[in-house]
Structure 1
Amino acid sequence: MAPVLFNIRTVDSAGTDKLESRITLDEKIDDGKATLDTIRQLLVKQKLDSAKVRLAFCGKDGARVGDDFKWSIYKALVEDDETEGGTAKKEKTNSRIQTHDVYFELPKENETEEKTLSKQAQAVLDGKLDMDLVQNKPALITATLKELASTYEHNKFKAASGGAVVTAGSMSENDWDVVLRHTHYLNGYRMVFSKLENGTKQFKRIDKAPYAAFTIRPRKIFSSEKADKSINVEAEYRIPRYIVTDDSYVNVFETASSLSESVASSSFSQTDIEASAGGSLFGASMSVKAGFSQNDSEAVATAKSSSSRSMNITYNFPRAVLYLDNRSLELTEECKVALEGIKDEETLIQFHHDFGHFFATNVELGGKLFASEKFTSAESSKAEEKANAMKVSAAASFSYGAFEANVSASHETQKNSAKSGSRSSMSNSLTWEARGGDTILCNDPPNWCPTVKPSANWRVINQRDVIPMADFIGTFPDYKHVPADVDRIRQKTKTITACKFRLKANVHDGVDYDEYYGVRKDKDEQRLKPFLHKYRNEILQCDNDEVAERTLANVARSPHLAYPAIKFYQALESRIKGAGFTDNFQEYVGIDKLNKRGGGCNFEVEVATLSDEVPRLKLNVPYLIRAHDETHDTFLAADTAGSYGDRFFGYLYYARKARASKFMFRKVGARSQQGIITNDMEVELTLCDESGNPYARVQRFEGDASTLVVSKYGVERDFTETHNATFQYN
């Protein structure tokens, strides 16, 4: 049988046809029974482009016909359309080959040229960008930013038009393959380190892993992707699951360390950038989840905050969001072989080196412009409340023409206290870069914008829902054992490690910037006695200390006059003065200079670590807190046995481990937040009950600027004032 040649043509809305490709068939076609669906299935078997598979058949004039249309009638229709001047063309047959033309209706989205930006993009670029950094900017660093005066202006940018608009819905399997080769969105991410002379490692950057652990799982064409309901295609194509998105948006965020800057430059979400500021990535402990060595973990956790920080602005032009889960992906053969080779910690680390430590399951493709303004700031401040806010409002639009400067900006500082002093100095410089589009035009935004349209120019501009590699592999049906296998390897390296830290007291009246929580012993000043006497006057219903002391003296002379409240107080005072509690009021927990009055400000908590990870504490987790220095080797404890009736009384002391109390740390302003405690996080030290639930918070006695006591949640009048601290790892 002579082969049959099909010329695959498309017809646009103007009626212009274009030859796209040619396909040959060796199968015999029964003209009496065949329909266009029969032709489509034969062409699919011969690898008809997936972009054409979903298109509807039409005549040369562009009029649509359904797949149930008879093949013999369609051939006659096409041949009639090709009649010129009343004379039919010669039949396209010879002894060796027979030729047929088939026409597909080209969607309008595949043919038109966008002359302007989308409405969403223009709304963003023409509108006023009012970004309240208090509400919208992640609190990456605790230093107060006093000024950020921009040295650039960009009110004369406007995107030039031109080029065909490409949407994800019109892309073929080959188009998606090009996008994959250009973006490597199926490769995980790994941490890169450099070795220092002293044997330790220094974090360098986040990098794409060299090997892809996953590939796209073949799937059928969705009905929503087909041009006509009559189209029936059973073939499967390696096309990712996607959602078309072209709502342009602006992000503003601040970076202050090499880690957070690398997370930002790798196009991860702002939530991940915020987490990285404290040496934590994607809500997970890196060593536990990624199998880092001890040096690797320390290098990440101690990625230093540079004196040169950056305010970053990104103009994002997304085209599609990809959803990458275990239903849309499958493991590569290389990854399967590597998983079988994981036997110990060394091979586990090598696996992560090859395939990455983490994988992003939500990937946004498109283009973005990235402006980074670096500044250095030496600043000291003293304020009643740390509630300063900087508001940056930049009116920006893109107008076609030269890159010029003419910025309109406003700066606003809000304070909750009238007492504030500061001094700051700043130097800044602007850099522009592009991700996606024609990157050589990064400093020519008007001409860069239209270059984002071709799918070959798309790049990864945002990544979310990042999961540790082993955990993600474990979601695949045949690999559910992987997380447990990896965990067993890590358990072999499990050790109990001391996490050392200090609690720097917030600046307050009578408390300077260099004072800390600590265990104290002072023979000259009996710190807890004034606090106890305040409580005594309350329960004895005495107006002042003189009346209370006279009442107690009378009872001493005539014990039969003692009523229950007096007996209770006498027992309480004797208890507190005892050697097991305050040793005649000499011992207490308070705020002072590091080594003043024999104070011990170094605390530690024993935590279990895996793969020699750097020990870190977590929010809302009960701990026994050890106070350790040259003069003290004891634990924090609290005594609330003095509560009488509806009145609460509690104070802090230090004792041996058997009598220690459990405490937890809660983030100020977000008590329910979970996760790793980051360096310089403002925390509230909280006493736990026997069940490990938060019971009372550590506060300062209102009568001095030193003594720390406990205040039960819900109790208002207990002679205490709020005085939280900043958590600092040693």
Structure 2
Amino acid sequence: MAAVRLDVNLFNAKDDTVKRTNCVPLKDFDISSKKLSDVRSLLIENGGLDASKVGCSFCSPSGALVNDASSFSDYVDILSEGGEDKEEGDDKKKKKKNIYNVYVYLKSKKTTTGLSDEAKETLKKELNLKLSDKPELLKTSLDQLTSSFNKADWVAEASEDATNPADMSEKEWNIVIRNNSLTSASRLVFSNLGRASDGSKKLKFRRIERAPYSAFVLKPRKFQPHEISDSEVKIEQQFHIPRFVVADDSYVDTFETKSSVATAMARSSFSSIEAEASIEGGAFGFSAAVSAGFSSSESNALSKQSTAESSTMNITYNFPRVVLHLDEYSLELSDECSQDLIRVKDVNSLIAFHHKYGHFFATRVELGGRLFSSEKFSTLGTSSESEATKQMKISASASFSSRFVSGSASYSQENGQSAQDSDARRSMQSSISWQAQGGDTLLCNKQVTLFPPAWCPTVAPFQNWRVIKQEDVIPLGDFIGRIPGYEDIPDKFNKLAEITRRKETVSFRLGLDAWQRADKNKPEYLSLHHAWRIRQEVTQLYTKELAKDPFTTMKAIQSGHWTNYQIPYSIQELYDSGHPGLAFEDNSNDTVYDIEVETLMNQAPALHYGVRYHIFNRKSGLWLRAILINQNGKEITLLAAGPKHEATLFEFRDQEREGPLRNGDKCCLLVYGPDGKQKGIIALSLRGQNSGEGVDDAKSIGALPYSVPNEGRIRFTVLEMVDQADVPT
């Protein structure tokens, strides 16, 4: 055996050209005992064949395929027979020096560049629409309006460099991963505004970005021979290629965001669900694991961004190419991240770790290109999200199809609407502008209306792929905990955060939604009210029912206990103790309530949907509670206030929403009885479904289960936060 050198040459089937790509020196190589399959393995081990070529067949200099089962000595003879005369001398010199050529057959990749010549010729021909027996018609003339719109100017061009993800090599996938920092988590960035009067840092949330350090590296995965090779090549290999699904259906997505953080997430390609969850806590917003990644000043700054004066409508025109699944089976921790993880010993080192590696990680990433635009809801001239969505879609379509936006797309919006409204919509539609992510973003220098059609084909090359959607977001600590060997990390992070746990008070009012008020311009709040009202209204209800049953009425009079039949004991006891009932009032001072919550890492306290609370009125020193009375076998729930041991639980709901409540959020207050069972939503429970069935003018608040017939009695509310300094005592 002797040292040899194998020169790898690529035979390009597209143009029959040969190009030398690698020279691979090998020690102790016995030409007589090796097969081409052995040569292939040696070339792979020594970097002579990358992922895109590892499954390509060997061939002769003229492109004739040679099976891997052939011996290498036979292959050398084939090369000698097929070599040209002018190369014969060079081959003899190489053999003396133990240098051998190896030819690899590179299949041509088919690229779609537009319509075929045959199809173009067919389209040039006019269709024969003449009738064989043409009827005689009255002749008239009509001057047709002509349009200066040229359809050809607005058709997206075909790409000359389309990429097929299945044909991409390990090196090409590495370029995609590095270009998009896909192994890095995302982090929230704040700016320092100096210090407040109390000496604490003043920070402001700025943006969301990829962390500068990669927390993960891609694991190699096995490929079966049929996945990477020609049919006659049988070799199993591992490559650093992510798991992907080709997804190339373009789509339009519109959604509303109501906070600075959610809008920033939308701009950073997070899906509408993740953007909303960022504030509501479902993804990372206020969960224990991730909240530990923020300092107290940062968490307070983040909390302040959870409300916004105006909503934002976002629209994305997406041109995806491929979806990557970056789960715990595809990734492992980088060496640097693993070492830094060992150094996390306290809260400060945990915060530093998050700042270096990010706060949350998206396990589903869509790559391609997208056009993004956003408008303040207040500038759209619309009153609902559905109207704004429709309007932005019209604007997006117009920017792709016509330069006469204000004259054509706006026209359909003007009918039946005021001139002022239509002018506002027309202005918005004519000025919509796109921000490009992916593709050739330098095309933004072109005229805005010309930009989309020219930009579309530039998304095709893999070098231009960018992240256009991120979903399935997980706190970084939780994701690390899914990787074998690091299962203790989430618990470790949570324990460090637990050290900072403390109790805080949240104060609020519950206002009646405007459409249910007696006067829309006068706010009405859930208020404590003297028990005379609830006693009087319950008495009216019981007396009314007694009047329907003369036998029971006579029995009550004869027994001398008429009052007991009129007023339940629990209501009379409430009245005698001086404890109040509840009603919605527009002029009461007893409208502010407290709830005690727990916080971590000095975060601003917040109420959460779906969590049960006891509610306290600081001014009266009493707790809200539910009272159950029975009227002819029917249970009625009423609300009142009393001592702490009588307090019952309440819960904020808004359909399936989760996470913290924001100032101005619409919600329903769910009531639980002394038995711990859910009684329904706060409502005018003494009123009947129909007039005359209950106390028609009753104002006392109780609870009713939700149903369509009960909607008229259920009270729908709006949360109004109150600063601690403004809470009456």
Please tell me the TM-score bracket, short chain as reference. 0.7 to 0.9
Amino acid of the structure 2 residue aligned with 1:643: N
**Is 1:487 aligned to residue 494 of structure 2?**
yes
Q: How many Å apart are 1:725 and its aligned residue?
A: 0.7
Query: Whole-Å Cα distance in 2 between the matches of residues 589 and 499 of structure 1?
Result: 20
Q: Name the structure 1 match of 2:627.
A: 639
Q: Name the structure 2 match of 1:146.
A: none
Q: Name the structure 2 match of 1:727.
A: 719
1:188 to 185, 189, 193: 185
Q: Name the structure 2 match of 1:5.
A: 6
Q: Name the structure 2 match of 1:177.
A: 174
SS in 2 for 1:212: coil
Distance 1:637 1:472, change over 3 A: same
Distance 1:705 1:466, change over 3 A: farther
Percent identity of equivalent pairs: 30
Q: Name the structure 2 match of 1:231.
A: 233
SS in 2 for 1:558: helix
Query: Whole-Å Cα distance in 1 between the matches of residues 658 and 704 of structure 2?
Result: 23
Q: Name the structure 2 match of 1:707.
A: 700
Greater alpha carbon shift after TM alignment, 699-708 vs 470-479: 699-708
- C-alpha contact 1:504 1:514 (8 A) present in aligned 2: no
TM score, norm. by length of structure 1: 0.80
Correspondence list, 1:667-682, <5 A: 667=654, 670=655, 673-682=657-666
**Is 1:461 aligned to residue 460 of structure 2?**
no
1:95-137 deviation digits (Å, cap 9, x = unpaired): 435231312232534xx243379xxxxxxxxxxxxxxxxxxxx
Query: Whole-Å Cα distance in 2 between the matches of residues 186 and 480 of structure 1?
Result: 19
**Is 1:504 aligned to residue 535 of structure 2?**
no
Greater alpha carbon shift after TM alignment, 264-273 vs 434-443: 434-443
**Is 1:531 aligned to residue 531 of structure 2?**
no
**Is 1:625 aligned to residue 635 of structure 2?**
no
Q: Name the structure 1 match of 2:72.
A: 71
Query: Whole-Å Cα distance in 2 between the matches of residues 293 and 326 of structure 1?
Result: 28
Q: How many Å apart are 1:357 and its aligned residue?
A: 0.7
Distance 1:666 1:309, change over 3 A: closer
Distance 1:663 1:224, change over 3 A: farther
SS in 1 for 2:176: helix
1:651 to 638, 646, 651: 638
Q: Name the structure 1 match of 2:601.
A: 611
Distance 1:705 1:412, change over 3 A: farther
Amino acid of the structure 2 residue aligned with 1:472: F
Q: Name the structure 2 match of 1:144.
A: none
User: Of the two structures, which has the highest relative contact order with CA contacts closer than 8 Å and spacing of 6 or more?
Assistant: 1
Query: Whole-Å Cα distance in 2 between the matches of residues 64 and 693 of structure 1?
Result: 77
Q: How many Å apart are 1:267 and its aligned residue?
A: 0.5
1:274-301 deviation digits (Å, cap 9, x = unpaired): 234x464626525652312332222222
Q: Name the structure 1 match of 2:649.
A: 662
SS in 2 for 1:289: helix
Q: Name the structure 2 match of 1:337.
A: 339
Q: Name the structure 1 match of 2:693.
A: none
Provide the alpha-carbon RMSD of the alignment. Answer: 3.9
Amino acid of the structure 2 residue aligned with 1:460: V
Greater alpha carbon shift after TM alignment, 216-225 vs 649-658: 216-225
1:302-359 deviation digits (Å, cap 9, x = unpaired): 2165556543222212122111122211111211121111111111111111111111
Distance 1:234 1:712, change over 3 A: closer
Distance 1:570 1:281, change over 3 A: closer
- C-alpha contact 2:274 2:472 (8 A) present in aligned 1: no
Q: Name the structure 1 match of 2:249.
A: 247
Distance 1:261 1:673, change over 3 A: closer
- C-alpha contact 1:173 1:239 (8 A) present in aligned 2: yes
2:157 to 149, 156, 160: 160
- C-alpha contact 1:156 1:398 (8 A) present in aligned 2: no
- C-alpha contact 2:320 2:369 (8 A) present in aligned 1: yes
Q: How many Å apart are 1:241 and its aligned residue?
A: 1.9
- C-alpha contact 2:320 2:366 (8 A) present in aligned 1: yes
Structure 2 unaligned blocks of 5 or more: 117-149, 415-420, 688-695, 723-729
Q: How many residues align?
A: 655
Q: Name the structure 1 match of 2:526.
A: 518
Q: Name the structure 1 match of 2:565.
A: 569
SS in 2 for 1:527: helix
Q: How many Å apart are 1:714 and its aligned residue?
A: 7.3
**Is 1:114 aligned to residue 107 of structure 2?**
no
Amino acid of the structure 1 residue aligned with 2:56: L
Q: How many Å apart are 1:269 and its aligned residue?
A: 0.9
Amino acid of the structure 1 residue aligned with 2:340: A
SS in 1 for 2:53: helix
Q: Name the structure 2 match of 1:558.
A: 558
Q: Name the structure 1 match of 2:138.
A: none
TM score, norm. by length of structure 2: 0.80
Amino acid of the structure 1 residue aligned with 2:681: R
Structure 1 unaligned blocks of 5 or more: 118-152, 414-421
- C-alpha contact 1:156 1:397 (8 A) present in aligned 2: no
Query: Whole-Å Cα distance in 2 between the matches of residues 472 and 275 of structure 1?
Result: 17
Q: Name the structure 2 match of 1:688.
A: 672
- C-alpha contact 1:651 1:708 (8 A) present in aligned 2: yes
1:133-165 deviation digits (Å, cap 9, x = unpaired): xxxxxxxxxxxxxxxxxxxx9996322123221
Q: Name the structure 1 match of 2:39.
A: 39
Distance 1:86 1:639, change over 3 A: closer
